[in-house]
Structure 1
C-alpha cells in the first residue's frame, strides 16, 4: 500500500461512503452503532484512509468533553483487502498523536466480548483489557473495555 495511501482528517461528507461499506466489511449489520452525528460533530478528530481514491479505512474518535484526560475511539474499520497491512495501527497512531496534542493521557475504547479480533488487536497495541463488564451498555449487553495510557505531552 505504501505511498499510494492517503491518510487525512475526515469530513462530514465522508459519512455516506463509510456507512455504505461497514456492514459489508463486518459481514453483519453494524450500521446502527455509527450514526451520522459522529461525522457531523467529530470529523475533525476522525480519520479516513484512501488507497488509489477508494476508501481503505477510517477511525472515528474524539477527545472526551467530560473527562479532560481522556480521548475515545468509537469505531474503526479497515477494508478486508487492507487488513494485515498495518493500516489500523497507522490510524490509531494518528489518533494517539491527536490525543497527545489535545493534552490527553488516556485513550479508551470498547467492544463486544465476542470480538476476539478486536481484543487481540488492542492487546497488541498496549491497551489494558477489562471485562467482559456485565451490563456495561444496559441489561445483558456486556462489553470489554480497553484503556491505553499515553506519554505525557511535552510542554
Structure 2
C-alpha cells in the first residue's frame, strides 16, 4: 500500500553525502536512528497503515539493505520498505512507499524504487511485487510507470480480500507483479 502523488524528480538523485540547499534528496539505506522519523512520516501519509516504532526499528536493522530512506536537509522525506520473499529470493516485495507532502510532485517514489532496484541488481531480481488497493490511483500510477520504465509487464491478481482483515475496515489488497526483468 502506498501514499503520494508524484510528478518530476531529476534522475540524478544523490545516493550519498549531505544534500546541498536546493539539491535533490540523498537516497540511502535506513539506520536505526531513522525509525522514529519514519514512523512519523508514515503517520503523515494516510492511507498507509501505521506500524509501531519497533517495526520500523526492525526494518532499519534487519531489512536495511532492501529499504530506502530519502533525506533532504536532515529530514526524512520518503521511505520504502521491501524484502525478498523467503521462498522466492528473486522476488522483491515492496511493502510501503511513503513520500511526505513537502516532497510530492518530484517523482521521489520513482527515484527511490529505481535506486533500490539498482542497489539490488546483483541479487538478480526477476520480479517486483506489491499490493495496492483498487482506489489508490497514485500508487497504481507509480507501479504502471515503473513497469513502463523497466520495460516489463505488469500483472494484477487477487491476493488479500477485505474479509481477511477481520473487524478492521480495510480494502482488498490485489497483488501487482512487475516482471520478469531482463529476459536474459
| TM-score with structure 1 setting the length | 0.82
Cα pair 1:70 1:105 within 8 Å, conserved:
yes
Matches within 5 A, 1:65-80: 65-80=86-101
Deviates more, 1:54-63 or 1:136-145: 136-145
1:58 aligns with 2:82: no
Decide whether aligned partners of structure 1 residues 115 and 4 sit closer, same or farther in structure 2, where only a CA change above 3 A counts: closer
In the other structure, the counterpart of 1:112 is 133
1:83 aligns with 2:98: no
Q: After TM superposition, where is structure 1 displaced by more than 3 Å over at least 4 residues in a row?
A: 131-134
1:125 counterpart SS class: helix
- Unaligned runs of 5+ residues in structure 1 are none
RCO higher in structure (CA 8 A, sep ≥6) = 2
Deviation at 1:18, TM superposition (A): 0.6
1:97 counterpart SS class: helix
In the other structure, the counterpart of 1:95 is 116
Deviation at 1:113, TM superposition (A): 2.1
| TM-score with structure 2 setting the length | 0.70
Decide whether aligned partners of structure 1 residues 95 and 33 sit closer, same or farther in structure 2, where only a CA change above 3 A counts: farther
The alignment's C-alpha RMSD in Å is 2.7
In the other structure, the counterpart of 2:5 is none
Q: Select 2:49's aligned residue among 7, 30, 49.
A: 30
- Unaligned runs of 5+ residues in structure 2 are 1-8, 14-22, 148-152
